[in-house]
Amino acid sequence: MSNDATLTFSIGDQTEQEIRNILTTVYDSLKEKGYNPINQIVGYILSEDPTYITTHNNARNLIRKIDRDMLLQSLVKFYLSGN
């Protein structure tokens, strides 16, 4: 018997504003240290390796507070909403 039902996915409690604040801080910290923030954040998202993120301004600890599934959902939602 084949199960063709679509699974649903639910995420945690973090608000999009919390994610935005953390990402902004991480982005600014990477930029201050001379890194390409987009490349570094993408590297982190793909690998979950925190060494892609600088420790400057506590950025590495901050980004680890974001649930990766929530982050990806927020990014997709933002992109598709036309913002």
Q: Do 41 and 30 touch, CB atoms closer than 8 A?
A: yes
Please check the confidence at residue 62 and state whether its pLDDT lies above 60. Answer: yes
pLDDT of residue 2: 59
- Residue 23 or residue 17, greater confidence: 23
Round the average pLDDT of the chain to a whole number and report it: 88
Residue with tokens 């993120």: 53
Contacts of 9 (CB under 8 A, 6+ apart): 69
pLDDT of residue 4: 76
CA atoms within 13 A on the CB side of 18: 12
Rounding to the nearest 10 degrees, give the CA dihedral for residues 59, 21, 39, 67: 80
pTM above 0.75, yes or no: yes
